[in-house]
Amino acid sequence: MYHISVLGHNDDDGFGESLGDIAHVAYCPALNEEELAEQCREAQVLVCRDEPVTKNLLEKLDQLKLIVILSARYDNVDLAAALARHVTVIHNPSYCIEDIADHTCAMILALIRQLPEYQEDIRNNNRWQYGTVAWPIHRVSDTVIGLVGFGHIGRAVAERMQCFGCRIDAYDPFVSEKIMIKNRVKPVDLDVLLAECDVVSLHMPLNDTTQYIFQEEQFEQMKPGSMFVNCCRGGLVDEAALYHAVDDGHIRSAALDVLSMEHPSPVMLKMIDRPEFLLTPQCSCHSVEAERALKNDAVRFIRAFFEGRMKELPIITTREK
């Protein structure tokens, strides 16, 4: 029997039972790295989501052969240390693509149709009247959507918004213009996208080159009266600069599912008090179906690994995708 250690949660989803014919599955709710190393010392497979897997921990797990990350992200794992120890690391690049795309589009539509502003007016002013919001409402099909990043989720957002008749522009230096055109999307430079698009939505990874890529300068470049959406990564955006851009009227409204600081910060508290900000607590990646598929995929990947079907695995070989 193989030994599988699962970090951070209990067996409330049948994950251990589904692998019971080939492995002993243990759940490891350790409070510190020393406890975790002790609990996982016999593990050949380590399953995690966002729990940190450090070089120090890896050096204590002599039996480890495989790390399964229950996410598309993998910045919680010291990949270089894992590869140096010949540990295979896999993630799930298809996880919650539909869910984040749906959530993004819902936020885009809510901003275009000014749902947060009118809801706020009804609740606070007991008023049932069109025209109480400063900005006019434009037809969805006349809206130009700008996608910064055109990976799996960006393409899913484009496909959905095209159904509403929207023109889609996209900027992604790592995706060919041929692929964008094939997806009926107009490839543009970032400065053109910011200047021409009515809605700007982020769909890029967070790394050393993209951290706080949207600051005061980028918001100033955006079209007056445009809208901003981020269901991607909080660290991409200087939220204080975004707040000021909305506060001074240059940007009409913003929808955020992620923040750089997701505990109550001064900027977050100011956003909560403004109807121009639509906030959700990082729920874009969640659904019952997404969680079920994530666990089923993990089971399938683990079986494939032990059966030697390596070509079926989404193996990470470098730090960046």
> Is residue 317, in this structure, part of any structural domain at all?
no
State whether 132 and 6 are in the same domain: no
DSSP reduced 3-state for 8: coil
User: Tell me, what's the pLDDT at 320?
Assistant: 44
State whether 129 and 49 are in the same domain: no
State whether 102 and 167 are in the same domain: yes
User: Tell me, what's the pLDDT at 11?
Assistant: 61
Burial of 201 (0-12, 13-18, 19+ CB in 10 A): buried
**CA dihedral over 194, 189, 170, 284, signed as positive or negative:** negative
pTM over 0.85: yes
State whether 108 and 90 are in the same domain: no
State whether 9 and 85 are in the same domain: yes
User: Tell me, what's the pLDDT at 13?
Assistant: 65
State whether 29 and 173 are in the same domain: no
State whether 186 and 307 are in the same domain: no
Residues in the chain predicted with pLDDT less than 50, given as ranges, are 319-321
pLDDT digits (tens, 9 = 90+) for 72-95: 988 899 999 999 999 999 999 999
CB neighbour list of residue 176: distance below 8 Å, 6 or more residues apart: none
Q: Using CA atoms, how far apart are residues 255 and 275, in angstroms rounded to an integer?
A: 10
Q: How many domains are contained in the chain?
A: 2
Four-CA torsion 288, 289, 290, 296, nearest 10 degrees: 110
State whether 105 and 80 are in the same domain: no
Q: Using CA atoms, how far apart are residues 257 and 105, in angstroms rounded to an integer?
A: 12
Q: Using CA atoms, how far apart are residues 96 and 258, in angstroms rounded to an integer?
A: 15
Residue 282 zone, left/alpha/beta (φ > 0; ψ -120 to 50; rest):
left
> Is residue 29, in this structure, part of any structural domain at all?
yes
Give the CATH number for residue 119. Answer: 3.40.50.720
Nearest to 278 by CA among 134, 96, 131, 116: 116
Q: Which residues are paired to 77 by β-bridges?
A: 53
> Is residue 321, in this structure, part of any structural domain at all?
no
State whether 171 and 238 are in the same domain: yes
State whether 103 and 91 are in the same domain: no
> Is residue 208, in this structure, part of any structural domain at all?
yes
State whether 155 and 245 are in the same domain: yes
pLDDT digits (tens, 9 = 90+) for 127-177: 999 999 989 999 999 999 999 999 999 999 999 999 999 999 999 999 999
> Is residue 318, in this structure, part of any structural domain at all?
no
State whether 246 and 178 are in the same domain: yes
The beta strand positions in the chain, using DSSP E, are 2-7, 23-28, 45-48, 66-69, 88-90, 144-148, 167-171, 186-187, 199-202, 226-230, 251-256, 277-279
Q: What is the end-to-end Cα distance of the chain in Å, rounded?
A: 33
Q: Using CA atoms, how far apart are residues 150 and 171, in angstroms rounded to an integer?
A: 7
Structural domain boundaries, residue 131: 97-279
